[in-house]
Homo-oligomer: A and B are copies of this chain.
């Protein structure tokens, strides 16, 4: 068990619940991405800046989630963000979504690649991205 690169706090809200009163399965991915954006932001790299000022995008090419226990509306949850692997043109993230008792409710994984905004082709990860991902 390595320490998370970042921990993001979130309260499960009605907008993300399904009709059973628990977090809707697709929203785990949305919340994981919120945590990913907060992680990058904490390391000085805002999603907004990437979007508006940089020549690359970091689209998700694979995403998966394993659901172990529901998160309920009103739960104060924590999302522990881990950088799993960094290569020249892609990187993998893991997000452990934990309920109020600290137990892991769901593990989300995403794989991102770098793409040139103009050509839409694969590109090496920018230096600033490598730095943000690798920072201890």
CB-CB under 8 A from A51, the residues of chain B are 19-21, 73-74
A contacts with B: majority SS: mixed
CB-CB under 8 A from A52, the residues of chain B are 21, 72
Query: What are the interface flags for A55-83 relative to B under an 8 Å C-beta threshold, 1 for contact and 0 otherwise?
Result: 00101111111110010111100000000
Per assembly, the copies of the chain total 4
The answer on a CB contact under 8 Å between B67 and A64 is no
Number of interface residues of A (CB under 8 A): 43
Task: Judge whether A48 is part of the interface by a CB distance below 8 angstroms.
Answer: yes
Query: What are the interface flags for A24-62 relative to B under an 8 Å C-beta threshold, 1 for contact and 0 otherwise?
Result: 111101100110011001000011110110000101111
The answer on a CB contact under 8 Å between A18 and B14 is yes
| Cα–Cα distance between A72 and B50 once the two chains are bound (Å) | 12
The answer on a CB contact under 8 Å between B61 and A64 is no
A25-B29, A57-B20 are known contacts. Are A75 and B62 too (CB-CB below 8 A)? no
The answer on a CB contact under 8 Å between A33 and B13 is yes
Question: Which chain B residue has the least Cβ–Cβ distance from A112?
Answer: B25
Question: Which chain B residue has the least Cβ–Cβ distance from A69?
Answer: B120
| Cα–Cα distance between A66 and B62 once the two chains are bound (Å) | 5
